[in-house]
Amino acid sequence: MKRFLDVFFAQKIIVFISGQAQEINRAKFGLHLHLSRLAEIFLGARDKGNIQEMTSIIEEYLFQCEIRNGTGLDQLNAFYQIQVLNRWQWELPFMAGDNKPKIDTIPYDYNDRNWALWIHKLASRYSWTREQIFNLWPEEAACYIQEILVSEFQEYEEVRVLSEVSYKYDKSTKTNKYIDLPKPNWMLSKADDLPVYRIRRTILPVGDIYRGEEKITYH
Amino acid sequence: MTFTGEKKRLHIIENLVKFGDEEIEINPLSLENCLKLLMLMSPHIVQLEHHWPEIDNALKSTDGSRSQVLFHTFIILRHELAGLPGDISKTIALLLDKDVEWVARNVKAQEFLEALPVLDRVNDFRQLWQLSKALGIKVRYKL
């Protein structure tokens, strides 16, 4: 998935339970969060080797996807296929993070706070209810979150321009110079804003370098 | 008896296996037994990956009506499993959905070999072994 409009194409798979074909649709945002949490608990149980917990998690996972009964193999297969179907399919720029050093502990932080933040931003911006937000596609919600972050930055910049705090007095030219609001890394244009480092030719690598399937030859 | 009832009776007869004086019905593995089997067999399933071409060739030589993956698994891993009688007993117990003590008392090697095709017909072990890798189910040893 590489485009916003692709988000709206409903995806589905067919799983076979006791010989019967059953259609499973991709989960919307609310169910996606619940299923991803179950998958996370499954990984923890798997690492501990706790069979009972793994079994109950798989049964709960399939119950949420409206799959009942089936043989053990059918259930395991369905569990895997539905996990693959509901994987996050598009990483937007803001998800890459900032690469700046983070504060060690935030006193008001808690687990899964980022998801609560998403719901808070969507609800505040669009006045949606939690049910409406949970009815979005996961990538659709991510696109709206990115737009909200960009809009918040631009609105803050507009207000900041009007404040004298954003201007620095330059004694040499005796003028006020505007200090740009620092952008997070994911908002920077790679061509213009990232620093360029020159490397001496004598220390560049020589010979064939393989980057995946691409071959580059340095002489 | 109705047609459906007759079909069900034949299905049960096909899946019946005799161990000593007792006849048991081979049913598809439950979810819990699948996971236990994968945990138990995980160190050995990894070695099967090197032998998949061998298994494929062996399966091509059959008439295609039975998968025989389990049969070939035991054939290929016979040397590795020979030194692990406990693992073998537990594996058989999970496959037959019985206790390990029952297996030790009642199951003879020849009878188990005769039960392998039935087990192969009822369960798709190739898919099961592949799910082991897909789900990352493996034994983790505590040091």
Contact assessment for residue A84 and residue A26, using Cβ atoms and an 8 Å cutoff = no
Q: Per mean pLDDT, which of A19-23, A143-147, A184-188 is the most reliable? A: A143-147
Residue in B38, B119, B132, B135 to test binding to A, most A beta-carbons within 10 Å: B135
Nearest CA in chain B to A84: B134
Residue A176 in contact with partner chain B when CB distance is under 8 A? no
Which has the minimum average pLDDT: A51-65, A182-196, A199-213? A182-196
* Neighbouring-strand partners of residue A178: A167
- Average model confidence (pLDDT) across chain A: 88
Cα angle: B88, vertex B90, B96; to 5 degrees: 100
Per-residue model confidence (pLDDT) at position A101: 60
Q: Which residues contact B82 (CB under 8 A, 6 or more apart)?
A: none
Per-residue model confidence (pLDDT) at position B107: 87
| B137 → closest Cβ in A46, A55, A75 | A46
Contact assessment for residue A137 and residue A8, using Cβ atoms and an 8 Å cutoff = yes
Instruction: Point out the residues of chain B with pLDDT beneath 50.
Output: 143
Residue corresponding to tokens 């080797």: A49
Residue corresponding to tokens 């039935």: B118
Per-residue model confidence (pLDDT) at position B143: 47
Per-residue model confidence (pLDDT) at position A218: 67
Per-residue model confidence (pLDDT) at position A33: 95
Contact assessment for residue B123 and residue B67, using Cβ atoms and an 8 Å cutoff = no
The dihedral of CA B71, B76, B79, B85: what is its sign?
A: negative
d(CA A121, CA A115) in angstroms, rounded, equals: 10
The residue with greater pLDDT, B81 or A74, is A74
pLDDT-derived band at A96, boundaries 50, 70, 90 = confident
Question: What tokens were used for A97?
Answer: 């993070």
The pTM score is 0.80
Which residues of chain A neighbour B36 with C-beta distances below 8 Å? 51
Q: What is the pLDDT of residues A53-70, one digit of tens each?
A: 999 999 999 999 999 888
H helices within A86-189, ranges in order? 113-126, 130-134, 138-161
Per-residue model confidence (pLDDT) at position A54: 95
Contact assessment for residue B15 and residue B118, using Cβ atoms and an 8 Å cutoff = yes
Question: Cβ A51–B124 below 8 Å, yes or no?
Answer: no
Cα angle: B39, vertex A52, B71; to 5 degrees: 35
Contact assessment for residue A149 and residue A122, using Cβ atoms and an 8 Å cutoff = no
Per-residue model confidence (pLDDT) at position A144: 96
Contacts across the A-B interface (CB distance below 8 Å): 53
Question: Cβ B29–A73 below 8 Å, yes or no?
Answer: yes
The residue with greater pLDDT, B72 or A158, is A158
Question: Cβ A55–B31 below 8 Å, yes or no?
Answer: yes
pLDDT-derived band at A25, boundaries 50, 70, 90 = very high
d(CA A216, CA A199) in angstroms, rounded, equals: 17
